[in-house]
């Protein structure tokens, strides 16, 4: 849960967020700062991402195409077994493709 996504949360998640804010007011703000810093590094094509032994795969959109309307999250945040299968299959295909191109 990031502060910038608050309006998109379900009503029950908004309550969780608000209650958490009372006990740990900087928790979500710090998560958002971390997320924004990583996003900025990716956008700036940081040297870390230019390493020939490091491959960056953007899977941020992979769960948006959900033809079966099955649940991909166990609690609105964490992936369940089905979504982990979808993600691992995508990673396997992408990695296999890169390996075969090098042969």
**More confident of the two residues 9 and 21:** 21
Q: Per residue in 45-70, pLDDT tens?
A: 765 666 677 776 777 778 887 777 77
User: At residue 28, does pLDDT exceed 80?
Assistant: yes
Confidence of residue 88 (pLDDT cuts 50, 70, 90): very high
User: What is the mean predicted confidence (pLDDT) over 22-34?
Assistant: 85
54 neighbors 48 (Cβ within 8 angstroms) = yes
Q: What is the rounded CA–CA span in Å between residue 32 and residue 5?
A: 10
pTM of whole model > 0.95? no
Question: From CA 15, how far away is CA 6, in angstroms rounded?
Answer: 10
């Amino acid at each position: 849960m990031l502060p910038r996504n608050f309006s998109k949360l379900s009503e029950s998640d908004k309550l969780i967020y608000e209650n958490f804010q009372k006990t740990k007011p900087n928790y979500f703000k710090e998560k958002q700062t971390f997320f924004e810093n990583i996003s900025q590094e990716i956008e700036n094509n940081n040297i870390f991402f230019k390493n020939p032994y490091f491959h960056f795969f953007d899977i941020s959109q992979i769960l948006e195409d959900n033809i079966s309307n099955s649940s991909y999250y166990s609690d609105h945040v964490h992936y369940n077994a089905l979504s982990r299968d979808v993600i691992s299959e995508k990673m396997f295909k992408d990695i296999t493709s890169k390996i075969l191109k090098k042969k």
